[in-house]
Amino acid sequence: MSERKEPYSEPAREPLERAEVVKRQIAEEIAKRLPKGWTFCLVLTSNDAVTYVTNEDRDPQLGAMLRSLAEAVEQGKPGV
């Protein structure tokens, strides 16, 4: 699984570290339950931090999906 952490301020360190643990636990469960060939990306955010995990490092469909999701969120479209 691929993980990434964005820069964050010192006061956010402890909550971010807790979020990292939870993120890994959730990602393991998602990976176990998904049908073969499915890709996921879990994004956790707070006011001053963002972290994510995905089960594919270089899945081109994942990048396209995230761009599409960002566009939908910016336009205020409801999720499915």
Direct distance between the N- and C-terminal alpha carbons of the chain, in angstroms, rounded to an integer: 25
The model carries a pTM of 0.66
Domain ranges of the chain: 2-74
| pLDDT tens column, 39-80 | 888 988 887 788 888 887 777 788 888 888 889 989 988 766
